[in-house]
């Protein structure tokens, strides 16, 4: 995959201060095309499917909303959904998303992931899990242990 | 001779071409003067072209609502355009409904003014001003909410309806290179014309709230634009059932105290303040004081997850459950009722469902989420 | 010095089909492969390349005849041609941004990259090598540009049609595109040799 204009623009938008204060790249100095390629490989190695993972993440948000900001217990997870006013645009300029942040904790192994509506979209539509060191980076291995163990 | 000839020839050719480029740049990027016709020539502005409509209008003192300061991430700056401004940009499409596309509603921050334009703006917009003020006080009311009190300097008076919001201008700081704006409801009452008070909850990673909580100081000069919004008390005699938690209390507090100050006390007002535990509660005393003075006003704080050390004796449970209980057993069913909500879309949806169950059809909420 | 005895119209036809700069001479590949994903942008880029090729070939012919040859500055040829191409692309970029910001955004970095599109320098050098007259140069430049435009639009159309075809995983993306281009080139080879362009 090449750094086409679409990815160059998206990477610009991911810098701190453009859409969020900290940006989506953390302290990763790879370009996003390399980040995506590496994570796609990880996903394949771990046997994860982007579409299925996104579906499960969305389902957990739906359950979590019932708590109105409080943690709720669903199946083997504890889920909390927090929301703030306003919208965040996707850095790829293909949609806007509510500022809704979900924390999912697997009660079997105690591991936890945190993601926003935008994170789900970036994962499903762009296979982008954010740069290493970013607050909302989703490590494939952590996704596997929280969602599938 | 040859040694000088080569550089000279190359320089001359380059200079001629560079000159051509400069001339073309002057022609192509000079959009000249552009005329903005507002509301069928009700107002006519002659401006320099080339900048987006939103910024151009604000430089002329007309403020179209924007919750993101013109970056294209909030969709609030929708304007009805009556002339041709080119096809929709990919940055506008995610915000437009089918009806809006038919009506040629555009995002003012995305359309560059290249030629004369005819637009329609609602009348209320002309009332909006940009205010310069000073941070009079910046206090913690809970562990994550600050009360920001601004003394207006220029203009030094604001006229707004209780329940409306303003846009706080956040200047560049740290990594944030561009100025931005965020919307916050006014928590002070309209009678205090020289001040604007806001309740701002820290959102981790949020551009504006981080600035307010970590960088803003008392004495700072600050700008707000407003007032905006159509969340305010409706002039009826119905019971007002108000639900808000956290920083959502702002417009509700403004409306309640405005009613008290203006003597509109014959209506029944119920304010359900939902929070998780005691540390999320604030302003309890002022509402409890008001309850004593105003018989028709009822203040019901509810904790959904009180800690043992909170020693909480008030209502316990999710605010929607408490609301349901009161609508079922305590608030007279035969009275007409209006709902007033301020909070996250999740909470609003849940409350609307409860209202619906009890036949409360007129529900108003702060829509800028 | 004698210009080659070729009718400009024949040259025009030849540079589009039988001596297509992209499919016969394989010049101008990188944006060809990247932008041919979308027909509309291929069209836009094709027009841009045609404009640049025609204008720069004409300008470079004038500079060749009135500056480079008389002043014996043959060793400056490449730098002069490239400066001209860069300037023309710069102007074109500004005009496109004004006239169609949508196209400007879609082409992105490939618009300024026309500067180093080897097809354009190639056309100018062929013009100089084959010693074409002014009219021949203009027709050659225009034809080559149109040939490039034709090739990219054709490829875009083929890629659109085969979008949902079951391509084996290792060949997905650039792999199958290059194979497609190769097959297109083979089809055009049938034309080569039909007309002499020297």
pLDDT confidence of residue C85? 93
pLDDT confidence of residue B369? 52
pLDDT confidence of residue A70? 83
B368 at the A interface (CB within 8 A)? Answer: yes
Contacts of B169 (CB under 8 A, 6+ apart): B69, B179, B180, B181, B222, B223, B224, B225
Residue B87 has pLDDT above 90, yes or no: no
- Domain locations along chain A: 5-148
Residue B189 has pLDDT above 90, yes or no: yes
Q: Of all residues in chain A, what percent carry a pLDDT higher than 70?
A: 99
Q: How far is C176 from chain B (nearest CA, A)?
A: 29
pTM of the model: 0.69
> What span, in angstroms and rounded, lies between the C-alpha atoms of B76 and B86?
20
Higher-scoring residue by pLDDT: A86, B141: B141
Residue B368 has pLDDT above 60, yes or no: no
Question: Which architecture characterizes domain B239-365 according to CATH?
Answer: 3-Layer(aba) Sandwich (3.40)
Higher-scoring residue by pLDDT: B368, C188: C188
Chain B residues with CB under 8 Å of C71 CB are 5, 9
pLDDT confidence of residue C198? 65
Average pLDDT score, chain A:
90
pLDDT confidence of residue B115? 84
Q: Using N-to-C axis directions, what is the helix angle for B249-262 and B284-293, rounded to 10°? A: 30
Higher-scoring residue by pLDDT: B71, B39: B39
pLDDT band at residue A1 using 50, 70 and 90 as cut-offs = low
Partner-chain contact B183 A70, CB within 8 Å: no
Total beta-carbon pairs less than 8 A apart between chain B and chain C: 49
| Coarse DSSP helix, strand, coil percentages of chain A, rounded to the nearest 5 percent | 40, 20, 40
Most confident residue range from B35-49, B213-227, C150-164? B213-227
pLDDT confidence of residue A66? 86
pLDDT band at residue A137 using 50, 70 and 90 as cut-offs = very high
A149 three-class SS: coil
Partner-chain contact B10 C87, CB within 8 Å: no
Contacts of C190 (CB under 8 A, 6+ apart): none
Average pLDDT, integer, range C180-196: 81
Question: Which architecture characterizes domain B33-125 according to CATH?
Answer: Roll (3.10)
Instruction: Answer yes or no: are the C-beta atoms of B294 and B282 closer than 8 Å.
Output: no
pLDDT band at residue B127 using 50, 70 and 90 as cut-offs = confident
Q: What is the pLDDT of residues C3-23, one digit of tens each?
A: 888 888 989 988 898 888 888
Chain B residues with CB under 8 Å of C67 CB are 9, 13
Taking CA atoms, A144 is separated from A35, A37, A76, A138, B37, in Å, by: 18, 18, 14, 10, 58
pLDDT band at residue B206 using 50, 70 and 90 as cut-offs = confident
pLDDT confidence of residue A126? 94
Partner-chain contact C110 A2, CB within 8 Å: no
Higher-scoring residue by pLDDT: B193, B30: B193
Q: Decide yes or no: CATH 2.40.30.10 for domain B128-228.
A: yes
Q: How would you classify the pairing of strands B129-140 and B145-154?
A: antiparallel
Q: What is the pLDDT of residues B233-281, one digit of tens each?
A: 999 999 999 999 888 999 999 999 999 999 999 999 999 999 989 999 9
Average pLDDT, integer, range B17-30: 87
Report which secondary-structure segment, H or E, holds B134. strand B129-140
Q: Using N-to-C axis directions, what is the helix angle for C77-99 and B2-28, rounded to 10°? A: 0
| Coarse DSSP helix, strand, coil percentages of chain B, rounded to the nearest 5 percent | 30, 30, 40
- Domain locations along chain C: 8-189
Average pLDDT score, chain B:
90
Average pLDDT, integer, range B181-203: 93
pLDDT confidence of residue C197? 66
Partner-chain contact B112 C67, CB within 8 Å: no
Residue B94 has pLDDT above 90, yes or no: no
Q: How would you classify the pairing of strands B117-120 and B33-38?
A: parallel
Q: Of all residues in chain C, what percent carry a pLDDT higher than 90?
A: 35
Average pLDDT score, chain C:
87
Q: C67: which DSSP letter?
A: I
pLDDT confidence of residue C59? 93
Higher-scoring residue by pLDDT: B296, C189: B296
């Amino acid at each position: 995959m090449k750094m086409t204009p679409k990815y160059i623009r998206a990477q610009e938008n991911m810098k701190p201060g453009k859409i969020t204060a900290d940006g989506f790249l953390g302290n990763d100095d790879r370009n996003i095309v390399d980040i995506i390629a590496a994570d796609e490989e990880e996903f394949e190695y771990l046997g994860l499917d982007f579409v299925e993972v996104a579906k499960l993440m969305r389902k957990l948000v739906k359950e979590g909303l019932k708590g109105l900001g409080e943690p709720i217990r669903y199946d083997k997870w504890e889920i909390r959904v927090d929301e703030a006013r306003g919208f965040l645009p996707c850095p790829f300029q293909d949609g806007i998303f509510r500022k809704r942040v979900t924390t999912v904790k697997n009660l079997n192994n105690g591991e936890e992931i945190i993601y926003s509506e935008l994170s789900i979209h970036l994962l499903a539509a762009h296979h982008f899990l954010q740069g290493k060191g970013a607050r909302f980076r989703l490590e494939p291995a952590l996704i596997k242990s929280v969602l599938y163990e | 001779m040859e040694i000088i000839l080569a550089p000279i020839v190359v320089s001359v050719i380059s200079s001629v071409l560079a000159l051509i480029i400069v001339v073309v740049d002057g022609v192509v990027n000079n959009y000249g003067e552009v005329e903005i016709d507002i509301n069928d020539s009700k107002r006519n502005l002659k401006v320099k072209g080339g900048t987006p409509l939103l910024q151009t209008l604000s430089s002329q003192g007309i403020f179209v609502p924007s919750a993101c300061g013109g970056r294209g991430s909030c969709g609030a700056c929708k304007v009805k355009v009556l002339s041709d401004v080119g096809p929709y940009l990919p940055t506008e499409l995610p915000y437009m409904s089918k009806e809006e596309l038919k009506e040629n509603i555009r995002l003012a921050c995305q359309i560059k003014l290249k030629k004369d334009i005819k637009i329609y703006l609602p009348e209320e917009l002309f009332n909006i001003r940009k205010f310069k003020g000073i941070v009079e006080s910046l206090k913690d009311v809970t562990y994550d909410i600050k009360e920001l009190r601004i003394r207006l300097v220029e203009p030094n008076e604001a006229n707004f309806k209780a329940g409306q919001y303003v846009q706080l201008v956040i200047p560049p700081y740290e990594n944030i290179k561009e100025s931005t704006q965020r919307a916050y409801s006014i928590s002070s009452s309209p009678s205090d014309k020289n001040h604007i008070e806001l309740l701002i909850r820290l959102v981790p990673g949020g551009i504006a709230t981080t600035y307010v909580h970590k960088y803003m100081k008392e004495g700072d000069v600050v700008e707000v634009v407003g007032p905006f919004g159509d969340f305010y008390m409706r002039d009826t005699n119905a019971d007002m059932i108000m639900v808000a938690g956290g920083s959502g209390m702002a417009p509700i507090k403004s409306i309640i105290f405005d009613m008290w100050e203006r003597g509109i006390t014959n209506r029944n007002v119920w304010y359900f303040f939902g929070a998780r535990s005691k540390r999320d509660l604030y302003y309890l005393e002022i509402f409890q004081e008001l309850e004593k003075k105003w018989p028709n006003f009822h203040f019901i704080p509810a904790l959904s997850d009180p800690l043992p050390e909170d020693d909480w004796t008030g209502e316990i449970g999710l605010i929607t459950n408490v609301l349901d209980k009161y609508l079922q057993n305590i608030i007279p069913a035969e009275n007409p009722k209006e709902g007033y909500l301020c909070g996250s879309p999740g909470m609003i949806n849940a409350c609307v469902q409860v209202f619906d169950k009890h036949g409360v059809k007129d529900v108003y909420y702060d829509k800028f989420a | 010095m004698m210009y080659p005895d070729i009718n400009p119209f024949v040259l025009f036809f030849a540079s589009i089909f039988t001596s297509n700069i992209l499919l016969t001479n394989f010049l101008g590949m990188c944006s060809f492969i990247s932008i041919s994903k979308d027909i509309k942008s291929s069209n836009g880029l094709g027009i841009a390349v045609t404009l640049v090729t025609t204008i720069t070939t004409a300008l470079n012919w004038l500079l060749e005849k009135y500056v480079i040859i008389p002043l014996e500055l043959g060793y400056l040829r490449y730098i002069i041609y490239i400066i001209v191409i860069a300037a023309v692309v710069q102007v074109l970029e500004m005009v496109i941004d004004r006239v169609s910001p949508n196209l400007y955004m879609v082409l992105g970095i490939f618009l300024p990259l026309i500067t180093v599109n080897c097809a354009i320098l190639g056309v100018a050098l062929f013009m100089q090598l084959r010693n074409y007259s002014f009219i021949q140069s203009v027709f050659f430049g225009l034809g080559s540009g149109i040939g490039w435009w034709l090739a990219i639009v054709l490829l875009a159309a083929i890629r659109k049609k085969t979008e949902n075809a079951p391509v084996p995983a290792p060949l997905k993306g650039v792999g199958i595109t290059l194979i497609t281009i190769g097959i297109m080139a083979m089809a055009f080879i049938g034309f080569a040799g039909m007309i002499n362009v020297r």
